Structure 1
Amino acid sequence: MTATTGRPTAPAGQRWRTAPAPSFAHLIRMSDDTGLFEHARHAIVRREHGYCTDDVARGLVVTSRQPEPTEKVVQLSERYLAFLTHAQHADGAFHNRLGHDRRWTDAPGLGDWWGRALWGLGTAAARSPAAWVREEALVAFSRGATRRSPARHAMAFAGLGAAEVLRRHPGHVAAAALLRDAATVVGGPGPDPQWPWPGQQLSYANAALAEVVIAASQLRHGGPPLDTGLRMLSWLWDVQLRHGRLSVVPVGGWRRGTDRLRYDQQPIEVAAFADACATAATVSGDPDWETGIRQAIGWFLGENDVGTPMWDPETGGGYDGLTAHGPNLNQGAESTLALVSTLQYAQRWS
């Protein structure tokens, strides 16, 4: 793959051709009338750990963008939207952690959960089939979009929500300003072609940083050049390929100049990469990015460093991490949402 085109050195495997439709069964199992529980032991909910805005927001993203959702999936969207509007403070910030006793354990803030909440709300405002959901989500998004976080990832997630709003409401001034500011906070490639990335470390959901820069290139005024985000994503793809398979940066991250570990790989990295490739394919019109999506789907189906499936067909849950000895068999919300999110691309790019 070159540094500018995103073309892979090896083709994707073929398991994506047999990818199943995304199942919402485990999300339904993990949800109650309040929201989405964060953790599970294998497939059994761990209620004592409560809920978090981070995961509920991810849930609203995947349920909102599901084409022709069933009644149960729409009900999940409604539940997740109600959770996020309850989590939002009047000033636009959000609580993150709610105990099983229905009490918040933190103060409203502008961390990653604020950004992901805006991503979920923006996606619902743009894509929900229910008009009242779109309207309420847009109200909550607009309130949160007045705030700014100094953190790259929080701004990237918020910017992705803004990009969703702009697809349906191109004149939304607050969304355009937020997307522009998100791209500015993320920054562009560094001067060294061997490390064309903002910052000296890859951490988590890395592809989201490149994706928001790509999305911001479509702004009418003040957006970065499209090539800026594509070069970031192309390099990230290159360094996460091993023998033609995705081998994503593990949970501990990777700092420039240090040895890179191979495990524990997290599903969120794969889902973020699939999302970014889908945006790159749509914005650039270059079908080569579809190979990245197929590699992400393949990772969940066993085309990974251990050669093992990263989901449970019986429950519909996604496994929590890829270790040197196989999957972590716990099926928490984040991992299941990453699985569902990635499989949503299987039919479109099959």
Structure 2
Amino acid sequence: MSGELPIPVFGHLVRMTDHRATFEHAALDEPRTEHGYCTDDMARVLVVTSRQPESSGDINRLAGIALRFLGDAQALTGACRNRMNAAGKWTDEPSLDDCWGRCLWGLGTAVAHSDVVWVRKSALVQFERAAQVRSPSPRAMAYAALGAAEVLTAHPDHRAARKMITDYAVSVPQPNGDPSWPWPEPRLTYANAVLPEAIIAAGVALEAPSLWQRGVDLLGWLLDLETSDDHLSPTPAGGRGPGDTGPAFDQQPIEVSCLADACARAAVVDPAARWNDGVRAAASWFTGANDTGQVMWDPETGGGFDGLQADGVNRNQGTESTLAVISTLQHAQRISLLQR
């Protein structure tokens, strides 16, 4: 993991985006317009565009498109639709699924980090609407808690954000006492690292060191489990349970980017070198330090490849995978700048 890591490239993301939103899927590097758009992706677009330093006109335009999309996705109750077709028609009903939590995450990140005043103000209004409700889904609530934590960095007395993160903290399960499988679920599934990341974020926001330490400990276990020799070997799309051995495929870029997000957050509260090393390992996964030595992105355009297989790479460059590359390289770039 030595050597200079690349910087984020937004070209493919811009090319995947029209006046409505960013298309969800691609056939190689061509947008598959027939599959339309989704809130999950547009929340992630708002995250990466809001935290990109010295953002350009194209990046700010993407942020504006994402913010408008998320506003349209919200019902007055705060619930969110997830899927819009290429004609601009919503195809599902508002829910409190992951799209709701990711919407709050994207909006909170914009409130805390956007360079554009109207984006910050509009995002806060939308955040307050979505924060009226709660989800029964642990991952949706984890994403919502991350958004609330971001809002509190900019507005420490924000009541709705504080109530959201307090409610989340109360819902976090107690440690199960099993050192071999401390995970709060019987299997690892998807976006796993968001769970310990949200616990860390809640502990920091509520000034509860014992809570954030639980998140750090859980993340450390996950990072150890998903590290093989000197590279990451993330949980595949089919999940991973006690006793499962790796490597296993189909590995998804979102698992790598979630781990980078969580390690970057852990590094703020814990000086251990392993967290910055975890971010670098995540970035290096995309550049070839993985179970099969395959490059998982196009460094010219920034497009991310959709999956690592035992016998090769799924070279379709969907939006989720592209955003995973951008997000991970943003963290790696920030660490590099801090250590110069």
C-alpha distance in structure 1 between counterparts of 2:206 and 2:224, whole Å: 30
C-alpha distance in structure 2 between counterparts of 1:341 and 1:253, whole Å: 22
Q: Which one-letter code corresponds to 1:286 in the other structure? A: A
1:99-248 aligned within 5 A: 99-220=85-206, 225-248=211-234
Aligned to 1:95: 81
Deviations 1:245-288 (A, max 9, x none): 10000001112345556100110000000000000001223333
Aligned 8 A contact 2:24 2:318 in 1: yes
Aligned 8 A contact 2:152 2:205 in 1: no
Identity score, percent: 52
The yes-or-no answer on 1:251 pairing with 2:237 is yes
Seen in structure 2, the aligned counterparts of structure 1 residues 190 and 67 have a Cα distance that, compared at 3 Å, is: same
C-alpha distance in structure 2 between counterparts of 1:73 and 1:162, whole Å: 24
User: What secondary structure, in the 3-state scheme, does the structure 2 residue paired with 1:28 have?
Assistant: helix
Pick one of 267, 277, 301 that aligns with 2:287.
301
Flag structure 2 segments of 5+ consecutive residues without an equivalent: none
Q: Which one-letter code corresponds to 1:237 in the other structure? A: L
User: What secondary structure, in the 3-state scheme, does the structure 2 residue paired with 1:248 have?
Assistant: coil
> Alpha-carbon deviation of 1:199?
1.5
C-alpha distance in structure 2 between counterparts of 1:232 and 1:221, whole Å: 18
> Alpha-carbon deviation of 1:304?
0.2
Aligned to 1:324: 310
> Alpha-carbon deviation of 1:226?
2.3
Seen in structure 2, the aligned counterparts of structure 1 residues 188 and 342 have a Cα distance that, compared at 3 Å, is: farther
Flag structure 1 segments of 5+ consecutive residues without an equivalent: 1-12
> RMSD between aligned alpha carbons?
1.4
The yes-or-no answer on 1:20 pairing with 2:6 is yes
* TM-score normalised according to structure 1 size: 0.93
User: What secondary structure, in the 3-state scheme, does the structure 2 residue paired with 1:297 have?
Assistant: helix
The yes-or-no answer on 1:284 pairing with 2:295 is no
Q: After the TM superposition, which segments of 4 or more aligned residues of structure 1 sit over 4 Å from their partners? A: 221-224, 257-261
| Larger deviation, residues 184-193 vs 300-309 | 184-193
* TM-score normalised according to structure 2 size: 0.95
Residue correspondences, number: 336
> Alpha-carbon deviation of 1:228?
0.6
Aligned 8 A contact 2:247 2:291 in 1: no
> Alpha-carbon deviation of 1:182?
2.4
Aligned 8 A contact 2:175 2:182 in 1: yes
Greater relative contact order (Cα 8 A, min sep 6): structure 1 or 2? Answer: 1
The yes-or-no answer on 1:29 pairing with 2:15 is yes
